[in-house]
């Protein structure tokens, strides 16, 4: 069973799509393991996006992601990391297909409303940046097809 870090970015929070995004992951059948509204610090943002350090958009990205509250979540399920990336769609909302979260709910770069971990290593690293172990809730849903 995998876990992934999903975050509604400040633009998504402003645009009132937290509920819609939670709903899509719930309806897909994944299990919510942790969630909180938070304003992330510059240090957290720099760690989260460390793979982009030095790129031309890095400073703007850190400013954007710390500009207001984000909704941080951990979701669990089989192949949840890759499936969540498919549900989210391409980085550029103009290229994200209809049916995906970015394709349906976001308009233009860099405001693509949501983040999802891109590998098992990223997921583990990112979850540890935003959540204490004690905040991750272990439970099974009786209705989950795959449990």
CB 75 within 8 A of CB 84: yes
> Distance (Å, rounded) from C-alpha 21 to C-alpha 141?
19
Q: Is 71 annotated as a binding residue?
A: no
Stretch that binds ligand RTP, among 37-45, 70-78, 110-118, 126-134 (CB under 6 A): 110-118
Which residues within the stretch 71-100 sit at the binding site for ligand RTP (CB under 6 A)? 91
Check residue 57 for interaction with ligand RTP (CB under 6 A): yes
CB 26 within 8 A of CB 32: yes
**Residues in Cβ contact with 30 at an 8 Å cutoff, skipping those fewer than 6 apart:** 75, 76, 77, 80, 83, 84
Q: Is 91 annotated as a binding residue?
A: yes
Which residues within the stretch 10-49 sit at the binding site for ligand RTP (CB under 6 A)? none
* Active-site residue, selected from the candidate residues 115, 123, 127, 131: 115
Structure tokens at 52: 């982009």
The minimum distance between CB 69 and ligand RTP, in angstroms, equals 16
The minimum distance between CB 145 and ligand RTP, in angstroms, equals 27
Q: Is 5 exposed, middle or buried (0-12, 13-18, 19+ CB in 10 A)?
A: buried
The minimum distance between CB 144 and ligand RTP, in angstroms, equals 25
CB 111 within 8 A of CB 26: no
Q: Quick check: is 52 catalytic?
A: no
Which residues are known binding-site members? 9, 57, 85, 91, 102, 112
> Would you please indicate which residues are annotated as catalytic (active-site) residues?
115
Residue numbers of the site for ligand RTP (CB under 6 A)? Answer: 57, 61, 91, 109-110, 112, 115-116, 118
């Amino acid at each position: 069973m995998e876990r992934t870090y999903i975050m509604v970015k400040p633009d998504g929070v402003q645009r009132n799509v937290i509920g819609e995004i939670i709903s899509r992951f719930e309806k897909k059948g994944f299990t919510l393991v942790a969630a909180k509204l938070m304003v992330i610090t510059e240090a957290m943002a720099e760690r989260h996006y460390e793979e982009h350090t030095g790129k031309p958009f890095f400073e703007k990205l850190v400013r954007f992601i710390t500009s207001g509250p984000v909704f941080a979540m951990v979701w669990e399920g089989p192949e949840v990391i890759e499936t969540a990336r498919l549900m989210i769609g391409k980085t550029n909302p103009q290229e994200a297909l209809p049916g995906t979260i970015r394709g349906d709910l976001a308009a233009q770069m860099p405001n693509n409303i949501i983040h999802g971990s891109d590998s098992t290593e990223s997921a583990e690293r990112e979850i540890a940046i935003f959540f204490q172990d004690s905040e991750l809730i272990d439970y099974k849903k009786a209705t989950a097809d795959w449990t």
